Amino acid sequence: MSAVTWTVGCVEDDPDQANVLRLWLEHAGYGCSVFRTATEFRRRLGNEAVDLVLLDRSLPDATGLEVLAWIRHAANSGLPVIFLTASGAESDIVEGLAAGADDYVVKPPKQRELLARVGAVLRRRGADADGSEVVELPPYRIDPQRRQVTVGGELVELTQREFDLACFLFRRHGRIVSRDALLENVWNLAGDVSTRTVDTHISRLRKKLGLAGEHGWRLTAVYQHGYRIEQT
């Protein structure tokens, strides 16, 4: 099994189903965090690195559509969501996709199909996140083609690695990015390599770009989980 790069959050109140999903995902090389209720998911999401959500449409304290609306408007609009539900009615599938879900899987899920759909959504999102489009989070502007970062129109000199790190983090603003994911995607190193190089580069980037809150954005460390660029 390869080193973990992505973490999937399973919002599932059935403990047996949740255990099966965790087993499948971890065997495929993903990390897995299980949330038994919508309340638990909302409470923990801000402190855990989750790259995709498998979301049950029927939860004890909310509907899946309500949770999806919260993800899209209150938490992180770019977080991929796959509905996982017993309802296979065409109207329900259309409703879920129209509400902003990235895919829809009917229970009971088939292992290979589910993993294929998870991988496909993550690849699509990864391609979007690592493309050539300019990222604009005023006053920050990241131009991948010119490999330039400006703050309020002023060019900031960054090393190649610092630029790659900034680009990776800014494209995932609002989301926790794990240290392992940074090592694998920015440094091309296995996630289990023991090194403080990420911490050093994070510190430099924070100083050079003024990411301590002075420009409305902050680069923070989330203990035992990773790093996040968030709006103050």
Tens digit of pLDDT for each residue in 198-225? 899 999 999 999 999 999 999 999 887 8
7-129 placed in CATH 3.40.50.2300: yes
Environment class of 101 (CB within 10 Å of its CB; exposed 0-12, middle 13-18, buried 19+)? buried
Q: What is the pLDDT of residues 180-189, one digit of tens each?
A: 888 888 887 7
Q: CA 100 to CA 206: how far, in whole Å?
A: 33
Cβ–Cβ < 8 Å for 8, 31: yes
Q: What is the domain partition of the chain in residue ranges? A: 7-129, 135-231
- Degrees to nearest 5, angle at CA 60 with 54 and 66: 60
Residue numbers in the chain where pLDDT is lower than 50: 1-4
**Domain 135-231: which topology?**
Arc Repressor Mutant, subunit A (1.10.10)
| Kind plus residue range of the DSSP H or E element containing 136 | strand 135-137
Tokens of 120: 């496909």
**Two domains, one topology: 7-129 and 135-231:** no
* Per-residue model confidence (pLDDT) at position 183: 85
